[in-house]
């Protein structure tokens, strides 16, 4: 993007092309194994979660889809759910199967030693593919808790073959245009090994499943010190990056507000995405333009709606800074081996205050320049707290 392109026009369009999908489960009560703190007004049903997601879209203008999780969002009529979403100006986004909350998945789901358990697991994902077809969803987003806790507990290669057998059947069932997003995570709840533990494992699996299968990068699923933007660059170059679950973490899979711990990393991730979009290689550019941006967070102590709006604003800011990188100057410094000038080019963009730019972008669309302030002034949070009250919430030690 030349300096001229960075004029308001092109920038304005690029800012507007960023769509951020919010998760239904980010609007309801959630917590840790120690405690789920019930919040007054927290959404309790799929319908209330759609209403809250609709508000976030009205305030930000960039959240036109909402991800659902099955069975957490199970309803009697999926078309009715899609209809309700439309009434809130939304469409149903990724459908997330849940293969981590049935007792029979203690030793795994698609990787389980018992064929009958694997059969149940495949059938659940096939049902989610049908739900995706019914609600017009573009993706089935699959995370497996599958793993073991002790060496020797199971045969690691046998688990991989069981996994691929199930995933092949699932991939074969995908309607045209519906992607299977394969999410990896290096540990938890598996504390010895996890069957899909890293981007390499997920990418190799997708290579065996075909072009409709792509890797989902959850920003909280890497060992400390991992260079996440390098993983993103490699997956883009392989044409295998399908989407993100954005959140932030300091220690493990903390699921905190995206950009609240390491905003520089989030900027560098978007720098790789924007660079790829502008890359001469059509396949890489197409992959970058097809990436699904989703939030996956758990708002345990903070107000849920404000947390979601703040998250979207943080993602927009990181993306806008990445759009401001002077790529010609960067390439010139890189080719000249001018190490520190190249780094300064990036840091200059990162240190740019993009709030005025985004405020203008919102004003031009009739949106409040400050969505968080608009939420606070709306009275919505107080109203739903009165209407919905507070649910009873538990702990991760139901037997205690």
Residue whose CB is less far from Mn ion, 20 or 358: 20
- Of 139, 304, 320, 123, which is closest to residue 213 (Cα–Cα)? 139
Task: Give whichever of 154 and 296 is closer to Mn ion, judged by the CB atom.
Answer: 296
State which of positions 335-354 bind ligand LRH (CB under 6 A): none
Q: What is the DSSP string of 50-71?
A: HHHHHHHHHHHS---EEEEEET
- SS3 for 218? strand
Count the site residues for ligand LRH by CB under 6 A.
Answer: 9
255 belongs to the binding site for Mn ion (CB under 5 A): no
Smallest distance, ligand LRH to C-beta of residue 53, A: 16
- Cα distance between residue 250 and residue 254, in whole Å: 7
Question: Shortest distance, CB of residue 183 to ligand LRH, whole angstroms?
Answer: 5
Residue from 59, 296, 311, 384 binding Mn ion (CB under 5 A): 296
195 or 253, CB closer to ligand LRH?
Answer: 253
Measured distance CA(7)–CA(202) in Å, rounded: 39
By beta carbon distance, the residue nearest ligand LRH is: 143
Helix (H, G, I), strand (E, B), or coil: what is residue 92? Answer: strand
- What is the pattern of x (binds ligand LRH, CB under 6 A) and - over residues 238-267? -------x-------x--------------
**Which of 245, 271, 299, 304 touches Mn ion by CB under 5 A?**
245
Name which of ligand LRH, Mn ion, none residue 185 binds, using a CB cut-off of 5 to 8 Å depending on partner kind: ligand LRH
Q: Which of 39, 96, 109, 219 binds ligand LRH (CB under 6 A)?
A: 96
Binding-site string for ligand LRH from residue 127 to residue 166, where x marks contact by CB under 6 A and - marks none: ----------------x-----------------------
* Shortest distance, position 379 Cβ to ligand LRH, whole Å: 30
Report the distance separating Cα 319 and Cα 390, nearest Å: 36
Least separation in angstroms between CB 96 and Mn ion: 8
What does 319 bind: ligand LRH, Mn ion, none (CB cut-off 5 to 8 Å by kind)? none
- List, as own/partner pairs, every contact residues 154-159 make where C-beta atoms lie below 8 angstroms and the sequence separation is at least 24, other chains included: 154/107, 154/108, 154/111, 154/113, 156/193, 158/113, 159/108, 159/111, 159/195
**Segment lying near Mn ion (by CB under 5 A), choices 167-175, 262-270, 275-283, 290-298:** 290-298
Interstrand relation of 147-148 and 179-183 (parallel, antiparallel or unpaired): unpaired
Compare residues 219 and 275 and give the one whose CB is closer to ligand LRH: 219
Given the complex with Mn ion, which of 117 and 142 has the nearer CB atom? 142
- What residues are paired with 216 via a beta bridge? 183, 243
> CB under 5 to 8 A by kind: which of ligand LRH, Mn ion, none does 52 bind?
none
Q: Does residue 115 have a cis peptide bond before it, meaning omega lies within 30 degrees of 0?
A: no
Q: What share of the chain is helix, strand, coil (3-state, %, to 5)?
A: 50, 10, 40
CB of 348 to ligand LRH, least distance (A): 34
Instruction: Give residue 386's Cα distance to chain centre.
Output: 31
CA distances to 170, 184, 204, 218, 323 from 197, in Å: 20, 5, 12, 12, 32
Q: Which of residues 275-304 bind ligand LRH (CB under 6 A)?
A: 296
List the one residue out of 33, 31, 26, 14 whose CA is nearest residue 50: 26
58 near ligand LRH, rule: CB under 6 A: no
Which CB sits closer to Mn ion, 233 or 295?
Answer: 295
Binding map of ligand LRH across residues 184-223, x = CB under 6 A, - = no contact? -x--------------------------------x-----
Which of Mn ion, ligand LRH, none does 253 bind, CB closer than 5 to 8 A by kind? ligand LRH
Please report, in angstroms and rounded to a whole number, the separation of the first and last CA atoms in the chain: 58
Structural Rg of the chain based on CA atoms: 21
For residue 291 the two structure tokens come to 């990436």
353-384 per-residue burial string, b: 16 or more CB within 10 A, e: under 16: ebeebbeebbeeeebbebbbebbbeeebbeeb
Q: In the complex, which residues of this chain contact Mn ion (CB under 5 A)?
A: 218, 245, 296
Where does this chain bind ligand LRH (CB under 6 A)?
25, 96, 143, 183, 185, 218, 245, 253, 296
């Amino acid at each position: 993007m030349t300096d001229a392109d960075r004029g308001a026009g092109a920038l304005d369009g690029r800012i507007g092309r960023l769509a951020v999908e919010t998760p239904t489960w980010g609007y309801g009560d959630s917590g840790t194994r120690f405690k789920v703190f019930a919040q007054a007004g927290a959404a309790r049903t799929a319908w209330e979660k759609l209403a809250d997601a609709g508000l976030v879209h009205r305030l930000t203008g960039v959240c036109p889809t909402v991800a659902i999780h099955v069975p957490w969002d199970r309803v009697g009529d999926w078309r009715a759910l899609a209809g309700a979403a439309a009434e809130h100006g939304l469409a149903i986004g990724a459908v997330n199967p849940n293969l981590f909350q049935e007792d029979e998945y203690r030793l795994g789901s698609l990787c389980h030693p018992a064929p009958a358990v694997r059969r149940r697991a495949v059938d659940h994902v096939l049902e989610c593919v049908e739900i995706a077809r019914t609600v017009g969803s573009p993706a089935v987003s699959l995370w497996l808790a599958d793993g073991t806790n002790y060496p020797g507990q199971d045969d690691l290669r046998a688990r991989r073959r069981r996994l691929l057998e199930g995933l092949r059947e699932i991939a074969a069932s995908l309607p045209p245009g519906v992607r299977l997003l394969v999410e990896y995570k290096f540990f938890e709840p598996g504390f010895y090994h996890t069957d899909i533990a890293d981007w390499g494992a997920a990418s190799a699996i997708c290579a065996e499943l075909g072009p409709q299968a792509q890797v989902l990068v959850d920003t909280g699923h890497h060992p400390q010190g991992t260079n996440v933007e390098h993983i993103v660059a490699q997956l883009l170059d392989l044409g295998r990056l399908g989407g993100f679950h954005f959140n932030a973490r300091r220690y493990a899979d903390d699921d905190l507000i995206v950009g609240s711990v390491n905003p520089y990393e989030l900027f560098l991730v978007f720098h790789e995405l924007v660079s790829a979009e502008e890359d001469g290689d059509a396949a890489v550019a197409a992959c970058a333009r097809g990436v699904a941006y989703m939030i996956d967070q758990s708002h345990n102590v903070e107000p849920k709606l404000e947390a979601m709006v703040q998250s979207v604003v943080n993602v927009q800011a990181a993306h806008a800074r990445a759009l401001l990188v002077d790529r010609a100057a960067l390439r010139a410094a890189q080719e000249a081996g001018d190490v520190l000038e190249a780094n300064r080019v990036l840091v200059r963009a990162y240190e740019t205050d993009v709030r005025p730019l985004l405020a203008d972008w919102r004003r031009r669309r009739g949106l409040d320049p400050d969505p968080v302030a608009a939420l606070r002034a709306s009275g919505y949070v107080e109203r739903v707290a009165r209407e919905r009250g507070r649910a009873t919430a538990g702990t991760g030690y139901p037997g205690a």
